[in-house]
Structure 1
Amino acid sequence: MPWPRRVDCVERPDRDLLRHGTNGEADDAMTGAVEQESLFLSELGRRVRHARTVRGLSRKLLSQTSGLSERYIAQLEGGQGNVSIILLRRVAGAMGVRLDDMITGSDAVPDWPVLRDLLGQASPDQIAAAKEALSGGVRSAGGPRPRVALVGLRGAGKSTLGRLAAERLGWPFVELNAEIERENALSVKEIFAIYGQEGYRRLEQAALRRLTEHSGPLILATSGGIVAEPLTYDLLLQAFFTIWLKARPEEHMQRVRDQGHLVTTGDHTSAMQELRAVLASREPLYARASATVDTSDVSVDTMVDRLTRTIEARFDGRQPQAG
């Protein structure tokens, strides 16, 4: 049975899709990127200078300890020029500072170094309790709510199978990207163009958080890349019974082609190599889902049967079965 052709599937756009704009748009994007890089270097220099002065180190002493010239340290603190990560690592090591604190900073959360050390010593139960408290306590009291989220690579069948399973169960069905578009009156492509990757991530997490407040049953289809956003994916795992729709790379590719959507440009060989690389990098994340339904080499009806049985087993009080 051929994979159903879909024309309304909404998926997070590949970065290649965002590269095709007018020359003016490209120039604006380049100008914005340069400004962001300049700001980053300035903030990095400020953090290095603060770390040095708070420890009572002169530039000369830091130069002797790190093996770098005073001139280089002065340029680094002044936010001038590019920065070698290796040399920055030497500066951080000479001051006894973590490299990630130099790069990202901890000013926004002054207690972050303490929290990080406490988390490093915490038990799994303590970490789970901390995550629940910090996420606003999205876990449901009195047993799991009948909320299901589908994850998987593009072409896994999240939208098609999710909609069919929802119809069979009599549950509402929601596509997360469609919800983001509805709430913001913009397409996903427009959101990326206006707000960028970080802006999309914020809107995605906000939309998901609102869906966690849904009291009744729900099947949610997510974007393939949601697993790469740690906070958003953890929220999903806490609030939803999450199912990984798993398939072989060849099936992913064929389904995407059948639907009229290509995951990448170029010839079939390079497209398959890219798809395999993405799948390999995401498999450990998809595997964190509560259940797995294998959709390889079976008909759509069989896929829906497997998915529906897994959902019913969970909310009938039995353990979910892998497909």
Structure 2
Amino acid sequence: MTPHSDAPRDDGQSAAETDFLDRLGQRVRRMRGLAGMSRKVLAEVSGISERYIAQLESGKGNVSIVLLRRIANAINAPLDDIIPGGEPSPDWPVIRDLLKKASASQIAEVKELLASGASAPLRRSFSGIALIGLRGAGKSTLGRMLAERIGWSFVELNKEIERQNGLSVAEIIALYGQEGFRRLEQAALLALLARNELMVLATGGGIVSEPVTFDLILNAFYTIWLKAEPEEHMARVRGQGDLRPMADDRSAMAELRNILASREPLYARANAVVDTAGLSVDAAAVRLGEAVKPIIANEARMFARG
């Protein structure tokens, strides 16, 4: 006779509870990776022991809602994103975050629009090409080469944030935390979009973790995911002398793989993927150039019509 799935085990925990804890652990690990944090960094920021976080991620943690809330705050994620449930549409986090900032009149307009079944185009005007991907993907190097070749402006979003605020990214994060940095990142992006000029934009690796900001990118730019093998990302980052946020972490490679795995579904929302694995800089630049040819040709046609 097959036991019921909710029957308690010898330790008093039902199969359903075990499954929940496993999924909770996977969700915490994925959200941590999305935020680009190692266990060590998360432990420091949340004040929770690294051992407890490891147990939680393996599905063996003695779960406390208070500690989960501290983890959610540390990675700047809503608590309901961590607790397992139905997988919502990729657009849901954007809608949720926009609703939080909306006025009563704006919410009323949205409700009326949805109730009427009417559709309204909300896409922004075309702003150019945006490159996304992990650190070490070549966004700055290849982006600058592409911009020079096609005659568009080249902008590194992180440097634009630093210019607008008079502080380095590290200083901004130290002063205001990840949440404060993401606010300034969004403000810098909106300022760039207000220029109404074509550009090649190199984004930070974690921009996909902020739903509204990433949605702005997807709507205003032809977005390309520069993809490489984890070992190549790590080698390039080491070559730059930059291991944020995994400095002095002996398990840095495992953490990088977790970050990549967590962000891949979001990176995959890009319009195109350019795999630079095993390529020289010049060969990768050629491959990127091929990927944007239709976009450049389309812009040339639009200019001719105007």
Fold conserved between structures, TM > 0.5: yes
Q: Tell me the residue number matched to 1:285.
A: 266
TM-score, normalising length: structure 1: 0.57
> Cα distance, 1:218 vs. partner?
0.7
Q: Tell me the residue number matched to 2:256.
A: 275
How many angstroms apart in 1 are the aligned matches of 2:296 and 2:254? 39
Gaps of 5+ in 1: 1-12, 20-25, 34-82, 87-98, 133-137, 319-323
Q: Tell me the residue number matched to 1:62.
A: none
Judged with a 3 Å threshold, the aligned counterparts in structure 2 of structure 1 residues 203 and 309 are, in CA distance, closer, same or farther, namely same
Match of 1:173 among 143, 147, 154: 154
Judged with a 3 Å threshold, the aligned counterparts in structure 2 of structure 1 residues 107 and 192 are, in CA distance, closer, same or farther, namely closer
Count of aligned residue pairs for this structure pair: 216
**Is the CA contact 1:169–1:308 (under 8 Å) kept in the aligned structure 2?**
no
Give per-residue Cα distances to partners, 1:226-259, cap 9 Å, x unaligned: 0010000000110111110011111111111122
**Is the CA contact 1:176–1:220 (under 8 Å) kept in the aligned structure 2?**
yes
**Is the CA contact 2:36–2:259 (under 8 Å) kept in the aligned structure 1?**
no
How many angstroms apart in 2 are the aligned matches of 1:289 and 1:191? 28
Give per-residue Cα distances to partners, 1:26-54, cap 9 Å, x unaligned: 9xx99xx9xxxxxxxxxxxxxxxxxxxxx
Judged with a 3 Å threshold, the aligned counterparts in structure 2 of structure 1 residues 210 and 85 are, in CA distance, closer, same or farther, namely same
How many angstroms apart in 1 are the aligned matches of 2:171 and 2:183? 15
How many angstroms apart in 2 are the aligned matches of 1:313 and 1:166? 15
Q: Tell me the residue number matched to 2:225.
A: 244
Q: Tell me the residue number matched to 2:191.
A: 210
> Cα distance, 1:214 vs. partner?
2.6
Larger Rg: 1
**Is the CA contact 2:36–2:206 (under 8 Å) kept in the aligned structure 1?**
no
Match of 1:139 among 124, 132, 144: 124
- Counterpart secondary structure, 2:176: helix
> Cα distance, 1:289 vs. partner?
0.6
1:10-25 correspondence to structure 2 within 5 Å: none
**Is the CA contact 1:151–1:222 (under 8 Å) kept in the aligned structure 2?**
yes
Give per-residue Cα distances to partners, 1:270-292, cap 9 Å, x unaligned: 11110110000000000001111
Q: Tell me the residue number matched to 1:76.
A: none
1:43-122 correspondence to structure 2 within 5 Å: 85=65
Give per-residue Cα distances to partners, 1:190-211, cap 9 Å, x unaligned: 1112222222111110110111
- Counterpart secondary structure, 2:124: coil
**Is the CA contact 2:140–2:202 (under 8 Å) kept in the aligned structure 1?**
yes
> Cα distance, 1:124 vs. partner?
10
How many angstroms apart in 1 are the aligned matches of 2:260 and 2:138? 15
Q: Tell me the residue number matched to 2:206.
A: 225
How many angstroms apart in 2 are the aligned matches of 1:177 and 1:107? 26
- Counterpart secondary structure, 1:155: coil
Q: Tell me the residue number matched to 1:186.
A: 167
How many angstroms apart in 2 are the aligned matches of 1:287 and 1:213? 27
> Cα distance, 1:183 vs. partner?
0.7
How many angstroms apart in 2 are the aligned matches of 1:107 and 1:220? 28
Match of 1:196 among 177, 181, 189: 177
Gaps of 5+ in 2: 1-34, 48-62, 67-78, 81-95, 300-306
Q: Tell me the residue number matched to 2:60.
A: none
Judged with a 3 Å threshold, the aligned counterparts in structure 2 of structure 1 residues 109 and 173 are, in CA distance, closer, same or farther, namely closer
1:140-159 correspondence to structure 2 within 5 Å: 140=125, 144-145=126-127, 147-159=128-140
How many angstroms apart in 2 are the aligned matches of 1:124 and 1:299? 50
